[in-house]
Structure 1
Amino acid sequence: MPRLTETETSALLTGSAWRREGEAIVRDVNVADFAAAIALVNQVAALAEAADHHPDLLVHGWNNVRLTLSTHSEGGLTDADFRLAAKIDTLL
């Protein structure tokens, strides 16, 4: 799967809750409590397994989750990252 160009990446991020950080897209989510954070991580994990595309997940504080997507094998962003981001967005 080829890397996206800067123009493609910018277009896909327009109007999105995701932001660019280096060679990844990132979304921070604030939820009600720690249990909700873990539940979100588990839901994202199920989507990631189904897509065979795995984000970096960070639970910090007691109710914050940071989701980071990048296609490591391509050294940057691909369509797979944005497809999974869109699926994650349906959870939120």
Structure 2
Amino acid sequence: MAKLLSEAEIQEQASALSDWIVEKSKLQTTRKFKDFIQAIEFVNKLVEPAESAGHHPDIEISYNKVKITLTTHDAGGLTQKDFDIAEVISQIN
């Protein structure tokens, strides 16, 4: 099982990510696109990196907005896995 990060570690790593916020024990971002098709295309680009990492985001789609929430469920909060995949997701357009 992945090790939970301390509050100081979470804040340090979160400050290095733009457009991500820490809320409770979750890391979140919302992306806005031109339309539903572009939103779904973005979500489809998340499949390979999530599968490769063995760490899957919670995803909410509302027309042209995609909300991504990361947490390590089996650890009960934020771990290095969450920040690693957030960094990868941040590079996806």
Task: Give TM class, smaller chain.
Answer: over 0.9
Alignment of 1:11-90 (within 5 A): 11-16=12-17, 17-60=19-62, 62-90=63-91
Aligned counterparts of 2:33 and 2:16: Cα–Cα separation in 1: 21
Q: Which runs of 5+ in 1 are unaligned?
A: none
Q: How far is 1:24 from its partner? A: 0.6
CA RMSD of aligned residues (A): 0.9
Which structure 1 residue ranges, 4+ long, deviate > 6 Å from structure 2?
none
Aligned counterparts of 1:67 and 1:45: Cα–Cα separation in 2: 13
Q: Which runs of 5+ in 2 are unaligned?
A: none
Paired letter, 1:90: Q
Aligned counterparts of 1:79 and 1:18: Cα–Cα separation in 2: 15
Report what 2:9 is aligned to. 8
Using structure 2 for the length normalisation, give the TM-score: 0.93
Q: Percent identity among equivalent residues?
A: 35
Aligned counterparts of 1:18 and 1:24: Cα–Cα separation in 2: 10
Paired letter, 1:74: A
Specify which structure has the higher proportion of helix: 1
Paired letter, 1:68: T
